[in-house]
Chain A
Amino acid sequence: MKTITDTWFMILRQTRNLMREPIWIALILIQPMVWLILYGQLFKNVTRLGGFGTGSYITFLAPAIVVMNAFFGATWSGMSMIYDLDHKIVERFLATPGSRLAIVLSQIVRSALTAAIQAIVILLVSLALGVRVHTGAVGWLVIILAAILVNSAFAGVSQAIALLTRREATMIAVANFIGLPLLFLSTTMIARAQMPGWMQTAAKFNPVDWGVKAAREVVLPGTEWGTVGLYLLLLLGLTALTSAWATWTFRAYQRSL
């Protein structure tokens, strides 16, 4: 119980701080639209190659951009933990009876909430661009859920790296190192049929691709709910694993004090 209330209060703090940075708000809302519009235009004609399940590239792309954006956001979520470590805010909490778990959990949940809000914005813009989610409102919820899960899973990793390295420079290097490769080793921008064989295989093990597949499945006609459920479950399992890892690294950090 204390974990839940403490998590809530800590999320409130982080959110309030973010709200004070109007530029940041603008960026998190505008950036995903830039992806959507730039990629949408650049690869517009790629659907002619076949295997996309739709002739409208923007329809193919929109759910994937939601997931990609959630993924990118997650890789940076550890930065806020490093800020709290550097400013000894974490230590101040540790000298109180406050929940230890809440310190890590609040970071992950805050990150996931941001991803959910961005997902809604991207979906609204997509709607304006003519994208129709085949399964309607349920589909929207699935896409948002996929964004939340992909974000939480990678936020757990990002938090763990933040707690292990405690250095911004390392965080930035890691985020850059995993960001683009995982994006290109997925069906985010291109149909599976158009990928080289080894990449198709690699994509199977890529959690970003699990999210993309679940989200895209509900947008295009012929939705297979079993597939959606499977990928969401895989992501849920991964989230549990990475959150546990982040919690473990937090204990290691405590022991190092």
Chain B
Amino acid sequence: MDAIVVNDLRKRYGEVQALDGVSFAVSEGEVFGLLGPNGAGKSTTVRTLVTLTRADSGSASVAGHDVAREHNAVRRVIGYVPQDSGVDELGTGRENLVLQGHVQGMKRRDLRSRTNELLELVGISDAADRIVKTYSGGMRRRLDIALGLVHRPRVLFLDEPTTGLDPEARVVMWEEVSRLAQAESLTILLTTHYLEEADQLADRLAIVSQGKVVVEGTPAGLKAGLRGDAVHIELENGAVDDAKRVLSGVGASPEQVLEGRTIVSRVENGGRALPGIISALEGAGIPVASVSLSRPSLDDVYLHFTGRDFAAEDRAA
């Protein structure tokens, strides 16, 4: 059964079409990633699914409940870990958890043991009775996740779970999320604008760009869909057109041009083909500033399907 079904969601905020027909489905027990740059519509999608926001049109259901018509049924089975926390930092970690549990309608005794269990599970037992203001970024994020889990939801929404964490803490958080997904047998929908994160965590992912799902698949499948390695050739002058002709001649058809001087080509067995490519360019009198070769990454998948450079778009947003 599908834990989440999203069908042609549209939402406009004033001039901005935040969602422009988003559709995807997530199976039960799956970790599903929505990957895209800032402003792509990931958070709006999640906010619609957790009943915070109403879509203008389209439909969506979570654990079989329609998000527009069966608010409370949805709210009972989901955990939501928003991008900006929502923790009361003037209270302690435990107080936050207990309040969350009460509001979720849990019984006092159950809540007490569940709180202890979760504090242990996310590894902040020692800090449980400290004011959240004194927590580190990583501890705070763990508490956020515990808050989303307190009432034993079936579907967990993680909106940018590692934004604002340093790289080390991020890797630890990835391990935690994978472990929690197992321990609590959860379906997880996570949004991220980190390509590595989607690659690490998601069983399947959808790339979102400008309010639409551009492509959907497993990280490995998406990468495999791009045949060959990516060769980035940066030219010293801007002779892009000449260079393109030369490259096509040696079987390295250019796919994209970045910033007017870097050509991206896709080549089978890039390592072996590279010397030939460079000498062909030099033979044609086109000076090369730098060359790099990379195995297909989600960056390349993004570039391939949207025609835009992920990092540049993320910065621009």
Q: Are B86 and A88 in contact (CB under 8 A)?
A: yes
Which chain B positions have C-beta within 8 A of A10? 99
Q: Are B72 and A97 in contact (CB under 8 A)?
A: yes
B115 within 8 Å of A by Cβ? no
> How many A-B Cβ pairs are below 8 Å?
70
Partner of B75, one of A9, A12, A16, A97: A97
Q: Are A94 and B52 in contact (CB under 8 A)?
A: yes
Q: Are A97 and B86 in contact (CB under 8 A)?
A: no
Tell whether A257 pairs with B103 under 8 Å between CB atoms, given A92-B82, A95-B75. no
Which chain B positions have C-beta within 8 A of A97? 71-72, 75-76, 103-105
Which chain A positions have C-beta within 8 A of B88? 13, 17, 84, 87, 89
Quick one: CB contact mask for B92-126 with A, threshold 8 Å, 1 for yes?
Answer: 00010001101111000000000000000000000
Give bound CA distance, A16 to B102, whole Å: 16
A168 within 8 Å of B by Cβ? no
B163 within 8 Å of A by Cβ? no
Shortest CB-to-CB span from A66 to chain B, Å, is 28
Give bound CA distance, A10 to B100, whole Å: 10
Give bound CA distance, A16 to B50, whole Å: 29
Give bound CA distance, A12 to B98, whole Å: 11
Which residue of B is nearest A13, CB measured? B99
Q: Are B86 and A96 in contact (CB under 8 A)?
A: no
Q: Are B131 and A98 in contact (CB under 8 A)?
A: no
Q: Are A257 and B47 in contact (CB under 8 A)?
A: yes
Which chain A positions have C-beta within 8 A of B131? 20
Quick one: CB contact mask for A84-107 with B, threshold 8 Å, 1 for yes?
Answer: 100111011111111000000000
Which chain B positions have C-beta within 8 A of A95? 50-52, 75, 78, 80, 82
Quick one: CB contact mask for A112-152 with B, threshold 8 Å, 1 for yes?
Answer: 00000000000000000000000000000000000000000
Which chain A positions have C-beta within 8 A of B95? 13, 16
Quick one: CB contact mask for A160-199 with B, threshold 8 Å, 1 for yes?
Answer: 0000000000000000000000000000000000000000
A5 within 8 Å of B by Cβ? yes
Give bound CA distance, A84 to B47, whole Å: 18
Give bound CA distance, A253 to B52, whole Å: 11
B3 within 8 Å of A by Cβ? no
A44 within 8 Å of B by Cβ? no
Interface-central residue, B89, B100, B103, by most chain A CB under 10 Å: B103
Shortest CB-to-CB span from B98 to chain A, Å, is 8
Give bound CA distance, A13 to B99, whole Å: 8
Quick one: CB contact mask for B68-79 with A, threshold 8 Å, 1 for yes?
Answer: 000110011010
Q: Are A9 and B86 in contact (CB under 8 A)?
A: no
Q: Are A88 and B72 in contact (CB under 8 A)?
A: no
Tell whether A96 pairs with B75 under 8 Å between CB atoms, given A5-B102, A88-B84. yes
Which chain A positions have C-beta within 8 A of B82? 88, 91-92, 95
Q: Are A92 and B91 in contact (CB under 8 A)?
A: no
Shortest CB-to-CB span from B141 to chain A, Å, is 14
Shortest CB-to-CB span from A49 to chain B, Å, is 48
Tell whether A91 pairs with B86 under 8 Å between CB atoms, given A96-B75, A257-B47, A257-B52. yes
Tell whether A6 pairs with B103 under 8 Å between CB atoms, given A88-B86, A95-B50. yes
Q: Are B86 and A98 in contact (CB under 8 A)?
A: no
A204 within 8 Å of B by Cβ? no
Query: For residues 54 through 102 of chain A, which have their beta carbon under 8 Å from a beta carbon of chain B?
Result: 84, 87-89, 91-98
A2 within 8 Å of B by Cβ? yes
Query: For residues 38 through 91 of chain B, which have their beta carbon under 8 Å from a beta carbon of chain A?
Result: 47, 50-54, 71-72, 75-76, 78, 80, 82, 84-91
Shortest CB-to-CB span from A82 to chain B, Å, is 14
17 A-B pairs within 8 Å (CB atoms) are namely A2-B105, A9-B103, A10-B99, A12-B99, A16-B91, A17-B90, A20-B131, A87-B86, A87-B87, A89-B86, A91-B52, A92-B147, A94-B52, A95-B51, A95-B78, A95-B82, A97-B103
Q: Which residues from chain A sit less than 8 Å from chain B, CB to CB?
A: 2, 5-6, 9-10, 12-13, 16-17, 20, 84, 87-89, 91-98, 255, 257
- Apart from A13-B88, A20-B90, 6 more pairs, CB < 8 Å: A2-B105, A6-B102, A9-B99, A16-B95, A91-B86, A96-B75
Q: Which residues from chain B sit less than 8 Å from chain A, CB to CB?
A: 47, 50-54, 71-72, 75-76, 78, 80, 82, 84-91, 95, 99-100, 102-105, 131, 147
